[in-house]
């Protein structure tokens, strides 16, 4: 006879059983990443399982963070995973975990897909869809979405764009940048820049202090893939990640850019340096999450010509519900946007 479902922190669960569950419900690359690095990614003990009759049948995880919300630093959690084993679905386990998580944490954040966004709206979450994922196609025929597509139209469009992309690569490569430079990843310097410009601009965002930079970049299993750039006048910085897929395809992500968003020339210099670095490494594309119009405009001028909508959702007290309906700034370094591939 099945026992009633129970929810446990993963620390109270058999590690081998948890690894086997992850492998059964996630693609191989994600499951292996969780087995090796889930403690780092979640930055806390905010991972839970549902068990029935001693067997794991569900999993949920959150990433602990601190956010600067209307000038106040608040503890928050990115809700990144909630999955039930196929054989255990239809038993109300997802609702059980949902109620448990919402009772445990008073400020929840997320990046839902279109279907999840509609569900969140029905459950009184705030939802917005005014952010953009931007893409700079350095080598159009090697862009991930083109390579994976079965559409002849898309592939022909990539070939048609190739000569223009070659000209743009040449322009980017020869562009001389004097007001910004590559720097070592210095947590204290980045925190200093962040504090200065967070205080100068009324935006909600991650709390970028030295501890954040140390955890998110210095302790990351991908630390050797990051390159950091900063404006000479300390008006901003940019952190780039250069990746190589299993098939050898190279691509780059701008994980974070922060500073004086009212200085388009500074943003242009940082974006240009990132593009030059990506080109030297043979990247086919660069992606960027632009959640401010000023950054989106600067990026488009640097060749980020393709875009897709990105949604943000939140659930909290009245102050939080009001604050996050105002001006927000999120990046690919937040939540699990910098996903395993």
Q: What is the DSSP string of 189-239?
A: HHHHHHHHHHHHS--EEE---HHHHIIIIIT-TTGGGEEEEEETTSSEEEE
Whether the pLDDT of residue 1 is over 70: the answer is no
CB–CB of 45/11 below 8 Å? Answer: yes
Beta bridge partners of 229: 182, 238
Task: Give the contacts of 19 (CB within 8 A, at least 6 positions apart).
Answer: 31, 35
Report helix, strand or coil for 263.
Answer: coil
In this prediction, residue 341 carries a pLDDT of 67
Beta bridge partners of 307: 134
- 52: its two tokens: 């029935």
CB–CB of 306/135 below 8 Å? Answer: yes
In this prediction, residue 320 carries a pLDDT of 96
In this prediction, residue 160 carries a pLDDT of 94
Residue reference for tokens 């905010």:
46
In this prediction, residue 310 carries a pLDDT of 96
Strand ranges in 37-171 using DSSP code E only, listed in sequence order: 47-52, 55-69, 72-84, 108-110, 126-137
- 20: its two tokens: 């086997």
- 199 pLDDT band, cuts 50/70/90, is confident
Whether the pLDDT of residue 242 is over 60: the answer is yes
Are β-strands 250-259 and 306-315 bridged in parallel, bridged antiparallel, or unpaired? unpaired
Beta bridge partners of 56: 51
Report helix, strand or coil for 312.
Answer: strand
Dist CA 161 CA 139 (whole Å): 9
pLDDT above 90 as % of the chain: 90
Tell me which of 78-87, 106-115, 242-251, 327-336 is least confident. Answer: 242-251
Q: Could you tell me which of 62, 66, 15 has the C-alpha nearest to residue 42?
A: 62
Each residue's pLDDT tens digit, 112-165: 999 999 999 999 999 999 999 999 999 999 998 898 889 999 999 999 999 999
Residue reference for tokens 């009324």:
202
Is the whole-model pTM more than 0.75? yes
Domains contained in the chain, CATH given: 6-105 (3.40.630.30), 132-311 (3.40.630.30)
Taking residue 266's Cβ as centre, other Cβ atoms within 10 Å add up to 21
CB–CB of 52/14 below 8 Å? Answer: no
DSSP 106: S
In this prediction, residue 11 carries a pLDDT of 92
In this prediction, residue 254 carries a pLDDT of 98
Each residue's pLDDT tens digit, 277-317: 999 999 999 999 999 999 999 999 999 999 999 999 999 99
Dist CA 295 CA 254 (whole Å): 12
Whether the pLDDT of residue 208 is over 60: the answer is yes
Whether the pLDDT of residue 246 is over 90: the answer is no
- 105: its two tokens: 């944490």
- 43 pLDDT band, cuts 50/70/90, is confident
Q: Please tell me the number of Cα atoms within 13 Å of 94 on its side-chain side.
A: 11
Q: Could you tell me which of 134, 173, 176, 124 has the C-alpha nearest to residue 318?
A: 124
In this prediction, residue 94 carries a pLDDT of 94
- 170: its two tokens: 């040449």
Return mean pLDDT, the chain.
94
Whether the pLDDT of residue 69 is over 70: the answer is yes
- 321: its two tokens: 């519900």
Whether the pLDDT of residue 3 is over 90: the answer is no
In this prediction, residue 2 carries a pLDDT of 65
End-to-end distance of the chain based on CA atoms, in angstroms? Answer: 40
């Amino acid at each position: 006879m099945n026992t009633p479902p129970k929810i446990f922190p993963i620390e109270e669960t058999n590690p081998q059983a948890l690894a086997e569950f992850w492998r059964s419900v996630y693609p191989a690359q994600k499951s292996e990443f969780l087995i090796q690095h889930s403690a780092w990614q979640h930055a806390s003990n905010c991972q839970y399982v549902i068990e029935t009759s001693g067997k794991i049948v569900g999993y949920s995880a959150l990433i602990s963070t601190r956010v600067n919300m209307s000038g106040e630093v608040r503890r928050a959690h990115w809700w990144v995973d909630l999955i039930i084993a196929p054989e255990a679905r239809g038993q109300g386990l997802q609702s059980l975990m949902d109620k448990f998580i919402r009772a445990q944490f008073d400020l929840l954040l997320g990046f839902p897909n279109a279907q999840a966004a509609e569900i969140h709206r029905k459950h009184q979450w705030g939802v917005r869809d005014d952010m953009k994922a931007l893409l700079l196609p350095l080598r159009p025929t090697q862009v991930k979405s083109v390579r994976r597509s079965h559409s002849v139209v898309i592939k022909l469009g990539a070939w048609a764009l190739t000569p223009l992309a070659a000209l743009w690569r040449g322009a980017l490569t020869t562009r001389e940048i004097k007001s910004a430079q590559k720097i070592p990843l210095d947590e204290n310097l980045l925190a200093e820049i962040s504090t200065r410009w967070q205080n100068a601009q009324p935006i909600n965002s991650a709390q970028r202090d030295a501890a954040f930079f140390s955890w998110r970049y210095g302790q990351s299993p991908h630390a050797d893939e990051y390159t950091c750039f900063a404006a000479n006048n300390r008006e901003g910085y940019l952190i780039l990640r250069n990746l190589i897929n299993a098939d050898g395809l190279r691509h780059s992500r701008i994980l974070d850019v922060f500073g004086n968003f009212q200085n388009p020339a500074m943003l242009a210099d940082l974006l240009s340096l990132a593009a030059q670095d990506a080109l030297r490494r043979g990247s086919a594309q660069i992606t960027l999450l632009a959640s401010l119009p000023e950054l989106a405009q600067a990026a488009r001028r640097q060749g980020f010509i393709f875009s897709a909508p990105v949604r943000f959702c939140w659930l909290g007290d009245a102050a939080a519900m009001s604050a996050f309906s105002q001006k927000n700034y999120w990046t690919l370094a937040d939540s699990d946007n910098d996903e395993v591939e």
